[in-house]
Structure 1
Amino acid sequence: MTKEELLAQPSDKYMSEAQQEFFRHMLLTEREELRERIDRDFQGLRDYETPSDPADVGSAEEQRQSQLNILEREKRLLDKIDQALDRIARGEYGWCAETGEPIGLRRLLLRPTASLSIEAKERQEQLERHVREA
């Protein structure tokens, strides 16, 4: 099934077996690509050699720290992908964890790891802003 075919389906087919399989395949593909990228980047960090020029050491360490931050973000995304795959296995994928309402195909195509509807996510972000400002 293509994205266009997915979006053309009637609303009563929301999270049908075919749609769940579409997203499962999408998540598995993204997961594999992400794992390969993480492995490649970790290998690059393992092969890292400290520069002999003291002026380059600070710059190289800053770059290394930046790579570690990127790897940490990618690891968190990998965890979210695994959680989404678990929701598919339990039949909960595509439904808002807070309200039980459909998340929506367009949102899932843009962010296949989403567990909240747009409205629930906005409420969560407003609450987080409110807590930070307090």
Structure 2
Amino acid sequence: MNDAQKDHFRAILLDWKRQLMEEVDSTITHLKEEASNFADPSDRASQEEEFSLELRTRDRERKLIRKIEEAMERIDEDDYGYCDACGVEIGIRRLEARPTATLCIDCKTLAEIKEKQLGG
């Protein structure tokens, strides 16, 4: 992968991370502003469910932020764009679709097949 491509993917990853961090900030603000002690148990349960869903979403995004940071580390170490399993180039089109990809399409497909067999 050449320097221009690395810069391209670094910019994509940084923008994605920035967007996710803005979501985190808005969630914190929302939770602070919307936190109410409802007298009605149904209202309180609805609010708790809403907050729970929002927090689960933010937890998934937190994990994604970590993957983004790991991808940027791989760019810095010249490991970005290579499959962790077999070592071949992942491919620009796959990285455009999923910039945090660590497996080539063949290894990812194989991993998904194995996961289905073990999980189902």
Shorter-chain TM-score above 0.5? yes
TM-score when scaled to structure 2? 0.92
Structure 1 stretches of 4+ moved >4 Å: none
TM-score when scaled to structure 1? 0.83
Structure 1 counterpart of 2:25: 39
Structure 1 counterpart of 2:4: 18
What is the 5 A alignment of 1:75-90? 75-90=62-77
1:50 and 1:125 map into 2 onto residues whose CA distance is 44
Structure 2 counterpart SS, 1:31: helix
Instruction: Give the superposition deviation at 1:29.
Output: 1.0
Identity among equivalent pairs (%): 37
What is the 5 A alignment of 1:98-117? 98-117=85-104
Paired letter, 2:49? E
Structure 2 counterpart of 1:130: 117
Q: Which runs of 5+ in 1 are unaligned?
A: 1-14
Structure 1 counterpart of 2:107: 120
1:115 and 1:58 map into 2 onto residues whose CA distance is 40
1:90 and 1:100 map into 2 onto residues whose CA distance is 15
Paired letter, 2:52? Q
Further displaced range: 56-65 or 87-96: 56-65
Paired letter, 1:27? L
Correspondence for 1:93 among 80, 97, 100? 80
Q: Give the total of aligned pairs.
A: 119
1:68 aligned to 2:55? Answer: yes
